[in-house]
Amino acid sequence: MPMVETRRMVRVVAVICLLGAGRRAWAAPVAPLSLGLGQAIRNARRENLKAMALADRRDALLARRLEALGPDEPDFAAVGYGPGSALGPAGSVQVQASQAFGFPGKASARARSLSLQAQTLGAEIQAGLLEGDREATRDYDELWFAGRALQWNALKAQTFGKIAVLARRRMVKGTTSEVEYLRARASLAGVDDEKADLEAAREDAQAALDSLMGLPVSTRLQLRAPPPPDPGTPPPPPSPDSMPHNPVLAAARLQVEADRARLLAARRGALPDFDASVLESRGQFGAGLSLSLPLWYWFNERHAVAAALKRVQAGREGALEARRRVGLRLREELSLLSSLARKLGNNRDNLVPLDARAWRLALSNYHYGQIDYNSLQAAANAWLDARMNQEALKRDYREALADLDYLEGK
């Protein structure tokens, strides 16, 4: 074989190998990301933009607090007198240094006001994080439920397939008309439409969870089963005043304290400011102390005090309204948990086993012609709905627990 053709064959084989390797690498499936509920909550906390923005505002207030406690900048001045000046000897220079300072307590009152405002934002940050935890729990449960719904859809297709097979057998034997067989096939075809809707719902749920955790859209998730609900007897509703960790109540209490500190700062703002100065001219020294009085109090400081007083009153009313809202939410959530616990137990102990038994008997009875097609279809739907309702009740119970944890500040 000529050397030229040998080289061509080697090149062709090399190109084919490279293309094959590239195709295998491109077609290799990406392993899904295994994710648990706790990890999802931690990821969502790291990506909580609302909490980040509030933290930046809090840090800005703390920086302003340090600025309020710091001294004012001193002023320096130098004045020279030329020939023929009536203000001083020719060629002399007068140097003056002055330092302004406020009435004792003015700076500390403003600093305390800024500090309490920063603490209020800290409570709002905690509220934002807990809201993110609750949202992550909801999105995780929705995605898990969407996966279970697709499994339920596959079970439904299998069940309706059995009905279609039985209807065809009865049609072939002549014990029923073709109408029942066509209805069975139509019901089976409708399962595919439900599957398309469920797949779209799963994609929406995964997009919501991916966005909350800051993951790329193409990320495939493999969720670990959330902890099973353990419904018990809910405790009596606690008083909002006995829940110091509730973020809404904590923010309301701190806001009232911050408004009071603002009122104190506004009242002290009407106190005089001082300016101490030292001057030197031709070896002679002098000192002075000036005082700025609030002569226009009725036009300036009085309105600032009145506005601060209104903020205090508004904060008290807001805190009272917050206690009422939290108390109402507590009772609603505990009532919902009690209702869901009863439904879970009834569905698990009664509805699911009874409907499963009815479905098995319906299959046998329809085969022997003891019941009609409508009764068989109703038994199948009842059994399938009972199983799916059990999953939905578990999801709702977990979400209600997440809402209760948020109210309790957990």
- Give the pLDDT confidence of 344-366 residue by residue, as tens digits: 999 999 999 999 999 999 988 98
Q: What is the pLDDT of residue 393?
A: 92
Percent of the chain past pLDDT 70, that is, above it, reads 84
- pLDDT higher than threshold 80 for residue 389: yes
Average pLDDT over the chain reads 81
Asked which of 76-90, 102-116, 287-301, 311-325 is least confident by mean pLDDT, the reply is 76-90
Residue 224 in contact with residue 144, Cβ under 8 Å?
no
Residue 313 CA to residue 156 CA, distance in Å, equals: 61
Q: What is the pLDDT of residue 30?
A: 55
Residue 343 CA to residue 400 CA, distance in Å, equals: 14
Q: What is the pLDDT of residue 357?
A: 94
- pLDDT higher than threshold 50 for residue 381: yes
- pLDDT higher than threshold 80 for residue 105: no
- pLDDT higher than threshold 70 for residue 31: no
Residue 251 CA to residue 331 CA, distance in Å, equals: 21
Q: What is the pLDDT of residue 12?
A: 38
- Give the pLDDT confidence of 201-243 residue by residue, as tens digits: 999 998 888 888 888 877 778 888 887 776 655 555 556 555 6
Residue 402 in contact with residue 138, Cβ under 8 Å?
yes
Q: Would you call 81 helix, strand, or coil by DSSP?
A: coil
CA 68 to each of CA 56, 63, 65, 108, 267: distance values in angstroms, whole numbers, following the listed order? 18, 9, 5, 8, 16
Kindly state the average pLDDT of the residues 57-68: 85
Evaluated on CA atoms 65, 69, 70, 71, the torsion sign reads positive
Kindly state the average pLDDT of the residues 15-33: 46
Q: Residue 289: beta bridge partners?
A: 276
Q: What is the pLDDT of residue 23?
A: 41
Kindly state the average pLDDT of the residues 396-403: 89
Q: What is the pLDDT of residue 198?
A: 93
Asked which of 59-63, 129-133, 179-183, 277-281 is least confident by mean pLDDT, the reply is 277-281
Q: Would you call 278 helix, strand, or coil by DSSP?
A: strand
- Give the pLDDT confidence of 264-309 residue by residue, as tens digits: 888 877 777 777 778 777 777 878 777 777 776 666 777 888 888 8
Residue 403 in contact with residue 333, Cβ under 8 Å?
yes
- pLDDT higher than threshold 70 for residue 109: yes
Residue 41 in contact with residue 133, Cβ under 8 Å?
yes
Q: What is the pLDDT of residue 196?
A: 93
Q: What structural domains and CATH numbers belong to the chain?
A: 30-78+91-407 (1.20.1600.10)
Query: 345 Cβ partners below 8 Å, 6+ apart?
Result: 231
Q: What is the pLDDT of residue 197?
A: 93
Asked which of 50-54, 149-153, 292-296, 352-356 is least confident by mean pLDDT, the reply is 292-296
DSSP labels, 225-270: PPPPP----PPPPPPGGG-TT-HHHHHHHHHHHHHHHHHHHHHHTT
Band of residue 369 on the pLDDT scale cut at 50, 70, 90: confident
Q: What is the pLDDT of residue 145?
A: 92
Q: What is the pLDDT of residue 67?
A: 79
Asked which of 54-68, 241-255, 321-335 is least confident by mean pLDDT, the reply is 241-255
- Give the pLDDT confidence of 79-103 residue by residue, as tens digits: 766 676 655 666 667 788 877 777 7
**Helix (H), strand (E) at residue 284:** strand 284-292
- pLDDT higher than threshold 60 for residue 22: no
Asked which of 8-22, 139-153, 281-295, 372-386 is least confident by mean pLDDT, the reply is 8-22
Kindly state the average pLDDT of the residues 24-44: 70
Q: In a 10 Å sphere around its CB, with 0-12 CB exposed, 13-18 middle and 19+ buried, how is residue 398 labelled? A: buried
Residue 333 CA to residue 267 CA, distance in Å, equals: 44
Q: What is the pLDDT of residue 289?
A: 76
Q: What is the pLDDT of residue 249?
A: 87
The closest of 179, 206, 104, 162 to 383, measured between CA atoms, is 162
